[in-house]
Structure 1
Amino acid sequence: MSGAATDIAVIGMSCRFPGVDDLDGFWRLLLDGGSTFGTFPAHRAPLPDRTPHPDAATVNSGSFLDAIDGFDAEFFGTPAAEAAAMDPVQRLGLELAWEAVEDARVPADALAGREVDVVVGAGPSGYELLRRLSGSDQDDHYAVLGSSGALIANRISHLFDVRGMSLAADSGQSSSLVSLALTCERIRSGAVDMALAGGVHLIADPEAGLGLANLGALSPDGRCYPFDARADGFVRGEGGAFVLLKRLDRAVADGDHVYAVVRGWGVGSGGATSRMPDPSPTGQAAAVLAALKAADVPFDGVQYVEAHGTGTRRGDPAEIAGLREVLRHTGRGAPLVIGSAKANVGHLEPAAGIVGFVKAALCLDRGHLVPHPGFRSPNPEIPDFGADFEILRASRPWTGTPQRPRRAGVTSVGMGGTTAHLILEQAPGTATEAADPAHNVSGALPWVLSARSETALREQAARLRDRVAADPSLTAADVGHSLVTTRTAFAHRAVVLGADREDALRGLGLVAAGTDAAPVVRGTAGGPAGPVVLVFPGQGSQWLGMGQRLYAESEVFARSIDDCARALEPWLDWSLLDLVTGAESAPSLERGDAVVQPALFAMMVSLARVWRSLGVVPDAVVGHSQGEIAAACAAGALSLEDAARVVALRSRALTALAGLGGMNAVAAPLAEVEERLARWPGRLSVAAVNGPASTVVSGDLEALDEFAAAARADGVRVRRVRIEYASHSHQVERIREQVLAAAADVTPRPTPVEFHSTVTGGRLDTRELGSAYWYANLRSTVRFGEVVAALMRERGGVYVEVSPHPVLQVAMEETADTLASPPPVVNTLNKHDGGAAKILASAAELHVRGVPVDWRTVFAPARPHRIGLPTYPFQRQRYWLTAPDGALAPQPAADRPDLASEAAVRALVCAETATLLTAKDPDLAVAGLGARSDETFKALGFDSSMVVALRNRLTAVTGVRLPATVAFTYPTPRQLALRLFSLLTPTEPQPPDTAPDAPDEGLEGRNDDDLYALIDRGYV
């Protein structure tokens, strides 16, 4: 029985041999007809004081890895003592299994909990004996785990958390191919979804091969000549290979790359048809015939057989005799091409079969038959060899058609008589079909990398850079899509945001060098971050054309804006779409709240949908003043139509208050402001509390002027907010009925998203969001700072300001700075960058801190392909006999620069400032800040989000906790450097970093585009 539903696809492979680290290296060796034979490395001598054995030359000849003592114990979560106790075959098996899964383009964590078999052919390396002789195994409770043969499969099952059969098979030299046949049978029967099959062979002590030498199986001259007249034995080899298998129909449906298809298999014993350890031609023929029958394939449809081919005097003639017996049963018109990987890499004994299997699969996949190294003339013990068989001396293209596909057989024979044979066929479609080209996409795309350590992350970036640079056919979309769909996310993370291949390659170079600069975002994901909190501001974030770029770049955003336009249309006499996209016919933002508030509502609701499309789904929402309407809608508590009605009609009602009152932003704590307000009872009130030292006062115009004059006289910074009415004051009572009417027909709904009310100061049941609430929202004090502080203190979390320009971020950062572990705060857009790239940069900030982000949606429009990527760069340390001192000790933090002088600190501040300005002025990356260190951050082009970024970078380098407003308070790089130097070299206890207020004349006259925009708007 054979067919797509029963055939088995090979979707992932890995291998390692001396000088060969991966499949590409193996393929180069095969194409070149190369071999890896040599002598046992002198530096690996297991017992250097041992007296040489007379047959040492024979057993010391072979195909040996340069080292087998290295292991990345940190990656595999293995304690140092356990790593030292583990037989190196277990360590190599773990690495090869991981690489096979990565090669299959399957995220390793996607296997967890699934029915996946792990079956491995392996034998002990001799390491256990060396540990016993050295005394290292005494009182070592890991010794039994390290030496058990079964543990190699069990450890792999544990690594991936898979629940299928976990088995170390031993049928002698055929163990790994028997393992593979067993897993194929399990998949075909439906017992499991997938299977990992493989084999590993290592030689810790070459004298363990003396038994084979005494048997006459080893070549005395250190070479292996299968089927050649010079054949006099094999040489032992080290390494291994693994494959990941899956039912063909599912592999095709999932878009997996299929190296080859396993059509059929046969496994059997020669019984008593020959004397042990002589091979049995009858038993071998029976296994081949069984495989052909299972595959429903005629023998003349098989063009190549990867033979067992040991190069021994008895083995080769017996194997050829078995194949000739198959010929007699089936008939064949043309000579059969045969070969053996043992001529390339030696005999890997229990892993030999899987090595031949991988070789055959590569030949099928790449459409070439490869030369058989060292062949001169046929073994004279095989009469008329050329009549039935052909050995290739050079590579040959291997064509296939749907009618006559490429097919190969693979044989492996155990010394005890167990033979396995498998029939492989080229993957469907590879003869005539090519993959559809990817669609071009514009704008920045994320390349997401991660590793278990900083060193591995840097090496991963270097490997990817080299791979992509060497292959111009790899598109930015294909690379980025493959990174986010085929790799597991580890704690050490980097996101490269490149506009094109060249930009992304430059970013990879920065990651490889350990540098933080655009277009790279780096970070380390910790434990659970807590809730994702979306924060919706009130007014102040608007700007002309604020949605123009994103409307063109994001289908999700565009659809949402269109939905909002339809919901608002009954209540507006102007076009929302024109305003958001900056059309010439757009109404002016100076028309007041009747325009600004509906436009901001639509922007915030639509930006929240974009965040959801990226997988950033809110656990909680917080709104500031009118932002609560957008928050309720984004949370699902209000329908879009209800929310649109409330925001449109309420903002229209506010026009009746225009010119009667206003607001003052006061840089002082709530208690101090309340004490001052006692002088104006009934005329002024607290409109909003945004942070520890950020309060807004609202009320009558004359009283506001008097308040400001008195506060300034006491050195308190006060500024008039640019707004024409007194929200959150007694004046709102004049429009109470209109506001209640605006929300009269609203039907609030329960929602799983927590709604934290800035009216009540805590979590609120969303069914209470009726008309009375929306009046209270406009009349009451906005308790934003209190709500955010409580959330941060009690829940931690991450905070995303959802607005076209950040106006609450600094206030939230100030609140976060009061905590021992400040939660991350990011924004969405800003007036300097209103495109998708800005959102991706903010999403990257969340991702590198451990917040789940669904990057796949970014690549969907490009219809990208999953491509092969470099496998994980294991960071190996030596574990041999005993655990190394200090193994797995935490790596020391990177050395900080010498900041002992004021000039050095100033140079640091200037360098970090220049780095943040590079995107606006690329020349700064080369020239640096230079004489511009006395210019204000405003003049240099900083906005509030850049101020926060500068604070974060300086804190990371120096370890000094700085407030979010540090660059407002010290407005030039030189002044900031002086302050930082004083904190680095204190001569006496330092007071909290509450700098003196900037002189009033330094703040007067600043406009909407400066650093103090958020102060002008009443948020700080």
Structure 2
Amino acid sequence: MFHTAGAEQATAVADTTVADLAHVLGEKAAGAIWLDELTQAMNLDAFVLFSSISATWGSGRQAGSAAANAFLDAVVDGRRGRGLAATSVAWGPWAGLGLANGDDGEQMRRRGLRLMDPDQGIRALGQALDNADTSVTVADVDWSRFAATFTLRRPSPLIAGLPEVSPPADAGSAAPVSVTALGRQLAGLPAPEQTRILLDLTRSRIATVLGHASIEDVQADWAFTDLGFDSLTAVELRDRLNAATGLRLPATLVFDHPTPMAVAEFLRSRLTGDAESAGRATAAVLRSAAPDEPIAIVGIGCRFPGGVETPEGLWELLAAGTDVIGEFPRDRGWNTEDLFDPDPDNEGTSHIRSGGFLRAAGEFDPGFFGISPREALTMDPQQRLLLETSWEALERACIDPSSLRGSRTGVFAGGTFSHYGAGGSEGTLDGGLVTGTATSVLSGRVSYTLGLEGPALTVDTACSSGLVALHLAAQALRSGECTLALAGSAYVVASPLMFTDFSRQLGLAPDGRCKAFSADADGMGVAEGAGMLVLERLSDACRNGRRVLALVVGSAVNQDGASNGLTAPNGPSQQRVIRDALASAGVSAADVDAVEAHGTGTPLGDPIEAQALLATYGQDRPEGRPLWLGSVKSNIGHAQQAAGTAGLIKMVLALRHGLLPRTLHAQERSPHVDWSAGDVRLLTEARPWSPGDRPRRAGVSAFGISGTNAHVILQEAPRAQRTPPRAQRTPPRRRTTPPLPVRAPPRTGPAAPSR
């Protein structure tokens, strides 16, 4: 009995539907089951199932076929266990009329799978039956070519022991520069001309491999994955470049150097002997700066409630004393009617229905960043916001983001898991949500998209995340780990969980507003936001002709330790972090004019923070120079992980505009604070803050619910660096596609496609 049915499939795993799988299983597996059952009592001499090499080592775009043929092998094992005749033959491609004809056969040949002569196949089948084999694989394989693609992404123990697969001892070594004709041709040419020649050579080979008519179809700065490369075409490009250059390049070339430009630069280093000089340049970058060198803020990008999309928009809001707290958004998929319940003890509901929400959190142009619409749908909106604000911050610093590709630019992002996409069942977003919602990818996405090769760290210390990210960025710049840094944070309420949980704890203000240090303080108001700052050593910023917005002259981070409860703030720890930051800046408390407080408006937290400020900044101040105290949370709410960044941007803008904005909802100071214990005054009205005979300075605080405290000392920019350079800046980006969800849509059911 022979079961020889075959079924075609040409879809990737992610695109394989239930119908595709049912078709392949019906052709292969169902028939095998029936034949097994119907022949059990026949005492057959041979029961042969024709399987496929897709079941032996897998095969691209044949996921269903691999599963179906592996099932055949299992049927054979089951029959042998019952003492019945059974043989499974996993065939490679046959020549002649069959499934391996046409383009499929050509694709297999390119992978190293030669089309087998039918006579060879028949002889092999006879041997398998004569030997009573249970399972056998029969294929005509060019192992040197097949192994190159099959093991490109990971080693394979299955074939590693074959002598034909073992690489020669000198595999991957470079041919001597002096003996390559192309190397001699490049000798003496300027480096830019060498790169141009090699880029054209690389793009022409890419066009040939991918079947493009012209090198104009090959973008020099696109990742090979985006150009359409797979393991096979990666090896083909390597082979063609080997032939063109005389080098012996590794099979992993396109993974080690992921764009055509990167490959061209790599070829130049190999052909001209510049590898050593490149190494020296890298080593030079790693030289550290003086530990007290100020860090310049040279660019800002932001999104905050009230429709704020630029620093100018935020300043207009602050200067006007605007309150932007509003109702729950209706674009999140929340059932806002059922979500609200005035009884805070009613589980699964919120006793408030207002907060500070971003007006366009779903607006994103994925094509601008080279991201597919499907991938964009899987991305946490916090990732989207950090991409946008990073790009805009760089543009505002008059830095072309594309010029940073391959540079030691670091990304330090504060953020947390937003519950985007959580709770859905299997569907079209599966797979992408792994990276789309991973907290670590908040920073990694920016680095990957812009091609930045400095440190990329995501920080989650709750409400202090943004300041901790800036603290780490400043340290990395001073140590030489990076030459430029993006530091900021983002927070988006993709799920109402924040409201339902804090309602149980009675931690939310009934009207959704933060009344910082006010007698009316009755809880925090939840808000959203995102901000990114471009940082550079002051000496580098001056040398590069940057406009300096403000300086980070000191910062510190510490922990509450064993305080009076995991989430309870600790006054002495706050005092210590303030004193550490002042020591880091080399200034006294009297040298600081204002503090942007954590100031959430809670009856417990605000008095503890105020007492810490009074004990530090409130002491030994010159007559007539109190410390002025405010909180941006009174305008926009508590933006959680993005709160510290919001405070930083506010104070940078205050330094630029010479004005300390007023803090809202605080006409009467909290009676739970002994305000007479020090010279600290609440900004119940806006106050001028003009430059004087000494540098103006401000402190910014953020304290995390986990106990991590951070404090930063800002200082006004040197006068010579305050004038903006004359440079064209790309206008702010606007979406060109329909809005994406802030809460991932349901992943099953008839509504999914329309969403």
TM-score in terms of structure 1 length:
0.43
Is residue 2:449 matched to residue 1:173?
no
Match of 2:303 in 1: 16
Q: Structure 2: which amino acid aligns with 1:217?
A: G
Residue pair 1:115, 1:163 contacting (<8 A) in 2 also = yes
Shift of 1:338: 0.7
Residue of structure 1 aligned with 2:740, choices 842, 866, 879: 879
1:146-170 Cα offsets, whole Å, 9 max, x none, are 1111111100001211111111101
1:164·1:192 contact (CA, 8 Å) conserved in 2?
yes
2:482 is aligned to 192
Compared CA separation, residues 231 and 52, structure 1 to 2 (3 A): closer
Aligned to 1:83: 376
- Separation in structure 1 between the aligned mates of residue 475 and residue 615 of structure 2, nearest angstrom: 26
Counterpart for residue 389 of structure 1: 680
Distance 2:739 2:582 in 1: 47
SS at match of 1:365: helix
Q: Provide closer, same or farther for how the CA distance between residues 136 and 373 of structure 1 changes in structure 2, counting only shifts above 3 A.
A: farther
Residue aligned with 2:296, SS: strand
Q: 1:566-607 deviations in whole A, cap 9, x for unaligned?
A: xxxxxxxxxxxxxxxxxxxxxxxxxxxxxxxxxxxxxxxxxx
State whether structure 2 residue 596 is matched by structure 1 residue 306: yes
- Give the C-alpha shift of residue 176 in structure 1: 1.1
1:758 corresponds to = none
Q: 1:405/1:361 Cα in 2 relative to 1: closer, same or farther (>3 Å)?
A: same
Q: Using the alignment, how far apart are the partners of 1:308 and 1:434 within structure 2?
A: 28
Q: Is the 8 A contact 1:335 1:386 kept in 2?
A: no
Counterpart CA distance in 2 for 1:3 and 1:399 is: 30
Query: Contact 1:273 / 1:282 at 8 angstroms: preserved in 2?
Result: no
Which residue in 2 is equivalent to 1:125?
418
Question: Deviation per CA, 1:488-545, whole angstroms, max 9, x where unpaired?
Answer: xxxxxxxxxxxxxxxxxxxxxxxxxxxxxxxxxxxxxxxxxxxxxxxxxxxxxxxxxx
How many percent identity over aligned positions?
35
CA contact (8 A) 1:85 1:137 kept: no
Match of 1:246 in 2: 536
Q: Does residue 224 of structure 1 match 2:511?
A: no
- Please say if residues 318 and 661 of structure 2, whose CA atoms lie closer than 8 Å, have aligned partners that are also in contact: yes
SS at match of 1:266: strand
Q: 2:608 aligns with which of 318, 323, 326?
A: 318
Alignment of 1:540-555 (within 5 A): none
Deviations 1:601-626 (A, max 9, x none): xxxxxxxxxxxxxxxxxxxxxxxxxx
Partners of 1:434 and 1:410 lie apart in 2 by: 21
User: 1:126 and 1:139, CA in 2 relative to 1: closer, same or farther beyond 3 A?
Assistant: closer
1:282–1:102 CA distance, 2 compared to 1 (3 A): same
Match of 1:878, SS state, is coil
Please give the secondary structure, in 1, of the residue aligned with 2:369.
coil
Aligned mate of 1:6, from 284, 287, 293: 293
**Helix, strand or coil: the match of 1:317?**
helix
Q: Give the conservation status (yes or no) of the 8 Å contact 1:5–1:247.
A: no
Deviation, 1:5, is: 7.5
The letter for the 2-side match of 1:872 is R
Question: Residues of 1 paired with 2:698 and 2:489: CA distance?
Answer: 20
Contact 2:325 2:354 in 1 (8 A): yes
**Alignment match, 1:346:** 637
Asked whether 1:35 is paired with 2:326, we answer: no
Separation in 1 of the partners of 2:434 and 2:376? 12
Partners of 2:440 and 2:458 within 8 A in 1: yes
Q: CA deviation at 1:878?
A: 2.5
- The residue type equivalent to 2:362 in the other structure is D
- Match of 2:695, SS state, is coil
1:193-208 aligned within 5 A: 193-208=483-498
1:429 counterpart letter in structure 2: R
CA distance in 1, matches of 2:480, 2:494: 39
Q: Which residue of 1 aligns with 2:353?
A: 60
The CA distance in 2 between the partners of 1:271 and 1:101, in whole Å, is: 38
Q: Which amino acid aligns with 2:632?
A: A
Structure 1 unaligned segments of length 5 or more: list them.
439-477, 488-869, 888-1020
Equivalent residue, structure 2, for 1:966: none
Aligned to 1:26: 314
In the TM superposition, 1:597-608 aligns within 5 A as: none
Distance 1:395 1:187 in 2: 35
The farther-off stretch of 319-328 and 107-116 is 319-328
Sort the Cα spacing of 1:257 and 1:49 in 2 relative to 1 into closer, same or farther, 3 A: same
Aligned length: 455
Query: In structure 2, do the counterparts of structure 1 residues 330 and 109 end up closer, same or farther at CA, with 3 Å as the change threshold?
Result: farther
Matched residue type, 1:23: P
Equivalent residue, structure 2, for 1:290: 580
CA RMSD of aligned residues (A): 2.7
Q: Supply the distance in 2 between the matched residues of 1:360 and 1:420 (Cα, whole angstroms).
A: 16
Aligned to 1:545: none
What's the CA shift for 1:273? 3.8
Q: CA offsets per residue over residues 850-903 of structure 1, 9 Å max, x none?
A: xxxxxxxxxxxxxxxxxxxx323343422333599999xxxxxxxxxxxxxxxx
Contact 1:59 1:206 in 2 (8 A): no
Q: 1:205: how far off? A: 2.3
Tell me how far apart the structure 1 counterparts of residues 580 and 429 of structure 2 sit (CA, whole Å).
50
When normalised by structure 2's length, the TM-score is 0.57
Stretches of structure 2 lacking an aligned partner (at least 5 in a row): 1-287
Structure 2 counterpart SS, 1:127: coil
Q: Distance in 2 between matches of 1:346 and 1:284?
A: 22
1:666-681 equivalence runs, <5 A: none
The residue type equivalent to 1:878 in the other structure is P
Write the deviation string for residues 899-924 of structure 1: whole angstroms up to 9, x where unpaired: xxxxxxxxxxxxxxxxxxxxxxxxxx
Post-superposition Cα deviations, 1:277-331, rounded to whole Å, max 9, x if no partner, equal: 1111111111111111111011111001000001101111111111123247766
Q: Aligned-pair distance for 1:213?
A: 2.3
1:234 to 2:521 alignment: no
**1:115/1:193 contact within 8 Å kept:** yes
The Cα offsets for residues 456-514 of structure 1, whole Å up to 9 and x where unpaired, read as: xxxxxxxxxxxxxxxxxxxxxx4xxx22xx55xxxxxxxxxxxxxxxxxxxxxxxxxxx
Q: Tell me the SS of whatever aligns to 1:9.
A: strand
Secondary structure (helix, strand or coil) at the match of 2:366 reads coil
- The answer to whether residue 647 in structure 2 is matched with residue 356 in structure 1 is yes
Residue matched to 1:97: 390
In the alignment, residue 498 of structure 2 is paired with which amino acid? A
Partner of 1:259: 549
Asked if 1:367 is matched to 2:655, the reply is no
